[in-house]
């Protein structure tokens, strides 16, 4: 199959083939676990999941690693290196305040001064949200911890980070500054700037505030970035050859990517567009500087940002949503997933309530089709080849053209289906990528015994023209999360609201 992906590194579409087929080694920059992940973060993660599932449907075996950043991501890391406060410190303060004001129960985080507890709290929340959105996360490790195997925590891999830094010092790509911190020497790496276009010449002549100026006096070049920061007072700290301190954010991903995939050159590395610079530019410099390999990842794929109703998401504008906010409002997680995956990953996605309603209709249509096929044809065969699957795959092979792929599926659903068992099998294959057919507990079925009784009572009330009673029963059903449907032939029925 001819797969083409847009590669940020080469600024063009290229045929995709893994180094060691059928294996694909993919690393996704994961969440900083200092707060609940928002729907923008999940756009990046759902994209990674769809990419993985597409590659699997195309016959590859995908080794996917998505890290959990629980130390060293500073509040100023987007514009400066190592500036500001560790985000875990910010989280600890926030949780302390929440505890004081009674918003946080003792069972959640007993001691907000323990950053590991704070991290665990948000990691568990992230995994819960990721499961709700149908991310394909590995089964839990046998020790009962809630962290799936392919989601490494940065704090568990500090040893590998130190090894990499030692290697970089030995290879003369890193130096210890007069402040005792270890910096990467960007001038030692001629390819610096290749990914983002922020070459050293451009950065030297003023990067528009995009590089650090706090440590100018001790650095050889303003774009040199922090690998290890000695700091005995930091919220999380480790003994190292450079004193007690903590690693820089960028080195974490280089270390975890190589350690967890066992590869020095990956097939695919992903992240949101804000990760391109400085984070991924620095990851390349570090990884290639340490291994001597010409490439750290063959493909670099980045999702554009998600906007809400056309604007940047921000708490002050009241348009900031976490996944759990939306689920609490009664939105089925599969509808959120569908909404996040349906726009092309390289265009800004505009998250709107109207869009969410359209996604709910689409998910309902897919689920109703599956139910119809099931009713008419029983069990689906386990393997099936069908032009719809070929066309669905071909659209996704075209730089993950999800809307084209959905177009194929919905057009086919509108056609006559003579072989329901085969149609069900086709739909299940398609859903191995979309993953919206599974029904979450909050959106289960078309009602239980109790709702069936209420529907009967509603019909009886209506027949005897007791409209007050009919209204009361309808409201009771609606309050329980159902849409009430009336038809002349079937009388009153209910279906779960998806939004």
- How far apart are CB 185 and ligand AMP at their closest, in Å? 26
Fill in the DSSP letter of residue 278: I
Among 26-34, 159-167, 180-188, 362-370, the segment contacting ligand AMP (CB under 6 A):
26-34
- Check binding of 40 to ligand AMP (CB under 6 A): yes
The entry of ligand AMP, Zn ion, none that residue 32 binds, CB within 5 to 8 Å by partner kind: ligand AMP
Among 156-164, 181-189, 256-264, 272-280, the segment contacting ligand AMP (CB under 6 A):
272-280
Among residues 97, 154, 88, the alpha carbon closest in space to that of 118 is found at: 88
- How far apart are CB 214 and ligand AMP at their closest, in Å? 21
Among 6-14, 22-30, 132-140, 304-312, the segment contacting Zn ion (CB under 5 A):
22-30
Among 28-36, 146-154, 200-208, 281-289, the segment contacting ligand AMP (CB under 6 A):
28-36
Q: In this complex, which beta carbon is closest to Zn ion, that of residue 255 or of residue 426?
A: 255
Are 84 and 47 in contact, with CB atoms under 8 Å apart? no
- Check binding of 253 to Zn ion (CB under 5 A): yes
Among 196-204, 267-275, 318-326, 379-387, the segment contacting ligand AMP (CB under 6 A):
267-275
Give dist(CA 15, CA 54) in Å, integer.
15
- How far apart are CB 144 and ligand AMP at their closest, in Å? 26
Sheet holding 61-66, edge to edge: 61-66, 23-28, 266-272, 297-303
Are 23 and 60 in contact, with CB atoms under 8 Å apart? yes
- Check binding of 8 to ligand AMP (CB under 6 A): no
Q: Which alpha helices (DSSP H) does 205-293 contain, by range?
A: 249-261, 281-291
Residue of the chain from 6, 116, 238, 305 that contacts ligand AMP (CB under 6 A): 305
Residue of the chain from 7, 67, 303, 423 that contacts ligand AMP (CB under 6 A): 303
Q: In this complex, which beta carbon is closest to ligand AMP, that of residue 18 or of residue 40?
A: 40
Are 270 and 121 in contact, with CB atoms under 8 Å apart? no
Are 443 and 364 in contact, with CB atoms under 8 Å apart? no
- Check binding of 193 to ligand AMP (CB under 6 A): no
Compose the 266-305 pattern: x for residues touching Zn ion by CB under 5 A, - for all others: ----------------------------------------
Are 285 and 254 in contact, with CB atoms under 8 Å apart? no
Give dist(CA 250, CA 224) in Å, integer.
12
Environment class of residue 170 by beta-carbon count within 10 Å: exposed (0-12), middle (13-18) or buried (19+)? exposed
- Check binding of 43 to ligand AMP (CB under 6 A): yes
Using the structure block, give the residue that is written with the tokens 């998250």. Answer: 351
DSSP H or E segment with residue 105: none
- Check binding of 44 to ligand AMP (CB under 6 A): yes
**63 to 122, contacts with ligand AMP by CB under 6 A?**
69
**425 to 484, contacts with ligand AMP by CB under 6 A?**
none
**28 to 87, contacts with Zn ion by CB under 5 A?**
29
- Taking each helix axis from N to C end, the angle separating 353-377 and 402-413, rounded to the nearest 10 degrees, works out to 50
Environment class of residue 186 by beta-carbon count within 10 Å: exposed (0-12), middle (13-18) or buried (19+)? buried
Among 27-35, 53-61, 135-143, 292-300, the segment contacting Zn ion (CB under 5 A):
27-35
Among residues 341, 320, 356, the alpha carbon closest in space to that of 497 is found at: 356
- How far apart are CB 284 and Zn ion at their closest, in Å? 12
Residue of the chain from 274, 391, 459, 466 that contacts ligand AMP (CB under 6 A): 274
Residue of the chain from 8, 9, 25, 31 that contacts ligand AMP (CB under 6 A): 31
Are 482 and 496 in contact, with CB atoms under 8 Å apart? yes
Tell me the CB-side half-sphere exposure of residue 91, using CA atoms within 13 A: 28
User: Which chain residues interact with ligand AMP by CB under 6 A?
Assistant: 29, 31-32, 40-41, 43-44, 69, 271-272, 274-275, 303, 305-306, 313
User: Which chain residues interact with Zn ion by CB under 5 A?
Assistant: 29, 253
């Amino acid at each position: 199959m001819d797969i083409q992906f847009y590669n940020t590194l080469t600024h063009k579409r290229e045929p995709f083939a893994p180094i060691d087929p059928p294996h694909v080694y993919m690393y996704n920059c994961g969440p900083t676990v200092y707060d609940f992940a928002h729907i923008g973060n999940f756009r990046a993660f759902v994209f990674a999941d769809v990419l993985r599932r597409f590659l699997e449907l195309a016959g590859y075996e995908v080794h996917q690693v998505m890290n959990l950043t629980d130390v060293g991501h500073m509040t100023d890391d987007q514009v400066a290196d190592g500036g500001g406060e560790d985000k875990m410190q910010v989280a600890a303060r926030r949780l302390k305040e929440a505890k004081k004001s009674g918003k946080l129960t003792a069972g959640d985080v007993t001691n907000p001064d323990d950053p590991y507890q704070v991290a665990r709290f948000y990691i568990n929340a992230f995994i819960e949200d990721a499961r709700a959105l149908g991310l394909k996360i590995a089964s839990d490790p046998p020790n009962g911890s809630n962290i799936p195997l392919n989601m490494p925590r940065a704090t568990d891999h500090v040893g590998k980070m130190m090894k990499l830094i030692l290697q970089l010092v030995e290879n003369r790509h890193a130096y210890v500054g007069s402040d005792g911190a270890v910096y990467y020497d960007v001038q030692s790496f001629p390819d610096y700037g290749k990914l983002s276009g922020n070459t050293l010449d451009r950065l030297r002549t003023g990067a528009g505030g995009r590089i650090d100026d706090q440590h100018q006096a001790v650095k050889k070049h303003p774009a040199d970035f922090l690998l290890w920061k000695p700091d005995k007072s930091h919220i999380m700290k480790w003994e190292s050859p450079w004193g007690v301190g903590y690693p820089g954010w960028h080195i974490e991903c280089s270390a975890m990517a190589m350690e967890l995939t066992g590869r020095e050159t990956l097939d695919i590395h992903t992240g949101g567009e804000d990760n391109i610079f400085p984070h991924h530019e620095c990851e390349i410099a570090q990884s290639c500087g340490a291994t001597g390999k010409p490439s750290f990842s063959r493909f670099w794929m980045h999702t554009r940002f998600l906007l809400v109703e056309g604007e940047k998401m921000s708490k002050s504008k009241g348009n900031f949503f976490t996944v759990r906010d939306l689920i609490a409002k009664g939105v089925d997680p599969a509808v959120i997933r569908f909404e996040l995956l349906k726009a092309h990953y390289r265009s800004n996605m505009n998250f709107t309530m109207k869009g969410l309603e359209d996604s709910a209709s689409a998910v309902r249509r897919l689920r109703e089709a599956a139910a119809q096929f099931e009713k008419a044809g029983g069990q689906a065969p386990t393997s099936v080849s069908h032009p719809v699957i070929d066309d669905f795959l071909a659209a996704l092979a075209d730089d993950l053209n999800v809307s084209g792929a959905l177009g194929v599926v919905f057009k086919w659903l509108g056609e006559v289906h003579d072989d329901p068992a085969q149609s069900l099998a086709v739909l299940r294959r398609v859903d191995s990528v979309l993953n919206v057919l599974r029904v979450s507990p909050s959106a289960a079925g078309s009602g239980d015994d109790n709702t069936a009784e209420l529907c009967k009572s509603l019909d009886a009330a209506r027949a005897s023209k007791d409209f007050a009673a009919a209204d009361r029963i309808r409201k009771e059903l609606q309050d329980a999360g159902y849409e009430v449907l009336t038809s002349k032939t079937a009388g009153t029925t209910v279906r779960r609201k998806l939004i």
